[in-house]
Amino acid sequence: MHIHILGICGTFMGGLAVLAKEAGHRVTGCDANVYPPMSTQLEAQGIELIQGYGPEQVSLNPDLYVVGNVMTRGNPLIEEILNRGLPYVSGPQWIGEHILREKWVLAVAGTHGKTTTSSMLAWILEDAGYAPGFLIGGVPMNFGISARLSGATDSDFFVIEADEYDTAFFDKRSKFVHYHAKTAVLNNLEFDHADIFPDIGAIETQFHHLVRTVPGVGRLIVNGDEASLGRVIKRGCWSEKESFGVSDGVNWTLLEHPGGASFDVIFNGENQGTVHWELTGKHNRTNALAAIAAARHVGVPVAQAVDSLSRFQSVKRRMEVRGVVNNITVYDDFAHHPTAIATTVGGLRQRLGAVKAEPSGRILAVLEPRSNTMKLGAMKDALPGSLKDADLVFGFGSQQALGWSLADALKPLGTIAHSFDQIDYMVQAIIQAAQPGDHILVMSNGGFGGVHQKLLEALAK
């Protein structure tokens, strides 16, 4: 089959392209911005890329057009496809029908932690010899790739990051309803994606739809600390269920060791072993519980999963150290929702073990609020609280781009917060403030204008 993918350079659609190529299909694709690293990754796979969405692309005469959720009515290629009555399908539906149909699907859903938990789960299965396929919205460092059909041997298992964002311009259900998970992790649920969901109740309804797709022989792995997920489960549950977290009555919980670098895994009151690793933050420990529980459903012994996590190398752009200059460390992190920002900053604070505002071990938080939810201003009032563990805060974003004043939003932080609408001025201010022993934590879900490299180069001077 020849498929032509619209919006191919997005993380999800690029992963879909890799899977389709591995499955033996001819793959071409187009995007508004065809540039590295995704373009080089796809071209290395022998996938032909076209810049833009010109209607003349119908002359490629593919068997099927696979449409990404960035595509809208009015797009010239979409209009040509519709006018000619050509066959098209959404990316999630295509994956569900062509890649996942014969697989034991382990789907990881949630507002936060999907990428990291999916990566942990895929690595546990890999280390246990299951050789899973996977499609993850990031690059797990244990694999170096974001998607593959299966490992060294043909595998019955597939791990997928299950996004609640809508599927396509013609299908407003969440992506994850197309995956038909047998094991479903419900990691957490908060209000997000204000561009498509009016309130948290609308998101809970989508999670309820996901629960409805899990078979009776399947299993839900549910965060027992989340009242929102409790409401979802009360609307109906037809599968086995296990819970994790720190609340009373959960099946899976943990006992943190001093310093937070290791923790015991507790299942139904019995100690199952100790995870030793370098990851920071409560969120990563609960992500680990979810991954261990999900792996157990397919048969991985808990002791094996605990041991595997000691070799888990995290994910690119999740507290990734981009460089150290003059004993000043620059990190890159994907955090862009206030809860994720708070857990990222708090996790680093715990790892440093330093008292806030000491001369060494300070955290300089550098933030770009650029998600659609942030641009709509739905989370701006929560920003100051999410940054409370930082010693200094540098925010980037103009009122024209955001539609609201970042400087005003950060005012509750007082003199520790500074806002900028030009990256070079912000870099200069950070360099002037930084001192040996500091940790510069850059948080954005975009490229942030290459600020990480700008900081490292300026520090070296």
Q: What is the pLDDT of residues 13-46, one digit of tens each?
A: 999 999 999 999 999 999 998 766 677 778 888 8
Q: Which domains does the chain have, with CATH numbers?
A: 2-90 (3.40.50.720), 100-309 (3.40.1190.10), 320-460 (3.90.190.20)
Output the pTM of the full model. Answer: 0.78
pLDDT of residue 353: 67
pLDDT digits (tens, 9 = 90+) for 95-116: 999 999 999 999 999 988 899 9
pLDDT of residue 357: 47
And the tokens for 405? 């004043």
pLDDT of residue 104: 97
Quick one: the chain helix, strand, coil %, rounded to 5?
Answer: 35, 25, 40
Across 56-70, average pLDDT: 96
| Spatial separation of the C-alpha atoms in residues 328 and 456, rounded to whole Å | 9
pLDDT digits (tens, 9 = 90+) for 368-414: 887 766 666 777 888 888 898 899 999 898 877 788 888 888 999 99
pLDDT of residue 375: 67
Across 308-318, average pLDDT: 84
Q: 355 falls in which pLDDT band (50, 70, 90)?
A: very low
Residue 261 has pLDDT above 90, yes or no: no
pLDDT of residue 28: 96
Residue 280 has pLDDT above 80, yes or no: no
Across 274-303, average pLDDT: 92
Tell which wins on pLDDT, 271 or 278. 271
Across 315-319, average pLDDT: 72
Range of weakest confidence among 211-225, 246-260, 289-303 = 246-260
pLDDT of residue 194: 64
Q: 5 falls in which pLDDT band (50, 70, 90)?
A: very high
And the tokens for 399? 């009122």
pLDDT digits (tens, 9 = 90+) for 122-148: 999 999 999 999 999 888 889 988 899
Residue 192 has pLDDT above 90, yes or no: no
32's CB contacts (< 8 A; 6+ apart) are 51, 52, 53
pLDDT of residue 253: 96
pLDDT digits (tens, 9 = 90+) for 151-180: 878 899 999 999 888 999 999 999 999 999
Residue recorded with tokens 């599927």? 167
Long-range contacts of 369-373 (CB under 8 A, 24+ apart): 369/336, 369/395, 369/397, 369/402, 369/406, 370/336, 370/397, 370/444, 370/445, 370/446, 371/336, 371/337, 371/445, 372/193, 372/194, 372/195, 373/192, 373/193, 373/194, 373/195, 373/337
Region for 403 from its dihedrals, namely left if φ exceeds 0, alpha if ψ lies in -120 to 50, beta otherwise: left
| Spatial separation of the C-alpha atoms in residues 13 and 91, rounded to whole Å | 7
Residue 288 has pLDDT above 90, yes or no: yes
pLDDT digits (tens, 9 = 90+) for 424-441: 999 999 999 999 999 999
DSSP 123-175: HHHHHTT---EEE-SS-BTTTSSSEES-SSS--SEEEEE---SEEETTEEEEG
Question: Percent of the chain at pLDDT above 90?
Answer: 61
Mean pLDDT of the chain: 90
